[in-house]
Amino acid sequence: MNKRVYVETWGCQMNIHQSEGIVGVLERDGFTLTESLADADLVVFNTCMVRQKAEEKVYGRIGAVVEEKRKRNVLLGVGGCLAQVSGEQLLKRFSAIDFVFGSSDLAALPRIVHEVAEGQARRMVHVDRPLGIDEVPLRRKNSVAAMVTITQGCSNFCSYCIVPYARGPLRSRDPDEILHEVRAAVSEGYPEILLLGQNVDSYGTDRPECGSFASLLEKVAETGVPRIRFTSSHPKDMTRDVIEKIAAHDNICKHIHLACQSGSDRILAEMNRGYTQRDFLSILEDARCLIPEINFTTDLIVGYPGETDADFVATLDLVEQARFGSIFVAMYSPRPGTRSALLPDDVSPEVKSARLHEILDLQREIALKQNQELIGKKLDVLVEGRTREGKAYGRTDTHRTVVLVGEETVGEFVQVYVEDAMTAALLGRRVDSMVPQGAQ
């Protein structure tokens, strides 16, 4: 077969990073990446199933491949979390799928493609239980931030979450491997490292010889990389040591994405989250005492089974007290195999939607007020890309998006004077490009 591959990705940053590995192993085997499905000899869908909507998007895109198969010879492989959980069912449901592979053992992908393409296996499912850490070549897609895996899988088993079933138990990566990859990315000129895990705070709990997340964070900071981010954090595993490392190192971003999911203690217990609203707010209060400018963002779910009006009001109260910089909020959808899927999905779609919009309206007010307080300030911004209109944009180390007036270079750090604010972004211009008062 010809060797042009098109990869489409859904879901979290872990999935985006995994697609870098998918492309890496296929390029090593001689494939060339194409940005057009219509030009591809091999199409790979790297899927997500955290929400029902993510599944449905994949199913819709399979139809586009069916159209291509009517015109020419093209292979379709489906991988990722949906494939890990529903491998055999996917093959039975969609005749257009030629092979299914899971969320690990990416190194086997070239062999699978060859066997299917050469007729050794007409259709194939390669889904093993995720164990160990995939060490594969990467084709990094982002030229500014290098994503570096520190853990894979999760052992928390929150009642609504498919991740432990799709990605397996927590596995911490060897710190020497992590630091080697970080140093390599720094030598290649990456100004930012993004440490990735389903729950970075649990790093090392399965392998005490690896040390803690706080100790790893300090070692990464000591490499001299200009900027370090990490995601995601779990409130029950967040320690003061981590906060202290952030405070002690200028190159660790003053931002934590700390997923709360609900403000109701009753719902949090049902979700098996391991903390209360008071516990969560105490983390924020302690961190803000040590790092006043730190920005917290979060994930929330509305409409969990049995969520009452009082439970929802508690979530509104959480948002009001926490003063998040931004939030990701989703309507609950049952995931097969999880504990909550056994419960009646008894909050109507209309109520879920109303609650979602009420939270978003409140958060917009909070975010706009926070951003307006930054007007007139000078902030350091790492330029990350360009908007559809061609304007440069970047982020502060507190994870606030800044749209810039003027031509700026992607990957460059610039000091920006904030001139205006919107709900989702600040507007500003580079300080050294400003015309002094009185100048003509």
Residue 433 — pLDDT band, cuts 50, 70, 90?
low
Question: Nearest Cα to 290, choosing from 244, 238, 233, 227?
Answer: 244
**Residue 437, pLDDT above cutoff 60:** no
Is the bond preceding 187 in cis, omega lying within 30 degrees of 0?
no
Q: What average pLDDT does the structure give for the chain?
A: 94
Average pLDDT of the segment spanning 268-290 = 98
- Structure confidence by residue, pLDDT tens digits, 34-66: 999 999 999 999 999 988 888 999 999 999 999
Q: What are phi and psi of 418, to 5 degrees?
A: -80, 120
- Which residue has tokens 């389903």? 198
- Structure confidence by residue, pLDDT tens digits, 376-385: 999 999 999 9
Helix or strand (DSSP H, E) at 6: strand 4-9
Structure tokens at 186: 């720094």
Residue 334: predicted pLDDT: 95
**Residue 297, pLDDT above cutoff 50:** yes
- Which residue has tokens 């969560």? 280
Average pLDDT of the segment spanning 166-189 = 96
Q: What is the number of residues in the chain?
A: 440
**Residue 31, pLDDT above cutoff 90:** yes
Structure tokens at 396: 């502060």
Average pLDDT of the segment spanning 385-413 = 94
CA–CA gap between residue 315 and residue 281 (Å, rounded) = 12
Structure tokens at 419: 């001139």
- List C-alpha distances in Å: 287 to 54, 251, 256: 34, 17, 10
- Structure confidence by residue, pLDDT tens digits, 231-276: 999 999 999 999 999 999 999 999 999 999 999 999 999 999 999 9
Residue 1: predicted pLDDT: 62
- List C-alpha distances in Å: 123 to 51, 80, 170, 387, 436: 27, 17, 31, 42, 68
CA–CA gap between residue 156 and residue 199 (Å, rounded) = 9
Residue 317: predicted pLDDT: 98
The residues, ordered by sequence, that sit 6+ positions from 353 with a Cβ below 8 Å of its Cβ are 331
- The percent of residues in the chain predicted with pLDDT above 90, rounded, is 87
- The percent of residues in the chain predicted with pLDDT above 70, rounded, is 98
CA–CA gap between residue 372 and residue 275 (Å, rounded) = 33
Highest mean pLDDT among 113-122, 177-186, 427-436: 177-186
Residue 124: predicted pLDDT: 84
One-letter amino acid at 179 equals: L
pTM, two decimal places: 0.94
Residue 81 — pLDDT band, cuts 50, 70, 90?
very high
Alpha helix (H) ranges present in 118-233? 163-167, 175-187, 213-221
Helix or strand (DSSP H, E) at 401: strand 401-405
Burial class (CB in 10 A: 0-12, 13-18, 19+), 409: exposed
Lowest mean pLDDT among 51-55, 96-100, 357-361: 51-55
**Residue 133, pLDDT above cutoff 90:** no
Q: All domains of the chain, ordered by start, with CATH?
A: 4-126 (3.40.50.12160), 145-372 (3.80.30.20), 378-433 (2.40.50.140)
**Residue 439, pLDDT above cutoff 60:** no
